[in-house]
Amino acid sequence: MHFRKAVLPLLALAGLLLATESARADFRLCNNSSGRVSVAIAYTDGRGWVSEGWWNLKSNGCEVLLRGNLAAQFYYVYAMDERGGEWKGRAYMCTRDREFRIEGRDNCLVRGFDRTGFFEVDTGRDAKNWTVQLTDANQQPR
């Protein structure tokens, strides 16, 4: 009887540690800017390009954009705030105004989508997880 009482807390602790470890194997984005932001991500899924959005993050909030171990070295992010500020780059992907998951990055306008410039995130060759920090300082005016 005493053995069972001692083992149950250890099993619960082991489960908590495993859950915590697996929770860290994600691509996360934290909004450290002064306002609410909308975020989109683009990546290769092994067959082709995929872009997805929108996550809405309040100031000082974080969100997991992709769950599990990272499958690629490069990911692409676009974000905009309520005042018209953007975090953007020169990697053009397809987006639209409402929630989306779009396969392919070519001929966005012809296919009825917007063409949006995402910034590149290099996670390194062996990263299993990554967190992008958006701040007002790295925002680019529209």
pLDDT of residue 101: 97
User: Looking at residue 6, what is its pLDDT?
Assistant: 39
Q: Are 31 and 37 in contact (CB under 8 A)?
A: yes
> Would you write out the chain's pLDDT as a tens digit for each of its 142 residues?
443 443 333 333 333 333 344 445 799 999 999 999 999 999 998 899 999 999 999 999 999 999 998 889 999 999 999 888 999 999 999 999 999 999 999 999 999 999 999 999 999 988 889 999 999 866 665 5
Domain at 26-138: CATH architecture: Sandwich (2.60)
Is this structure's pTM higher than 0.75?
Answer: yes
Question: What does the DSSP assignment read for 47-84?
Answer: SSEEEEEEEEE-TTEEEEEEESS---SEEEEEEEETTS
pLDDT for res 24: 57
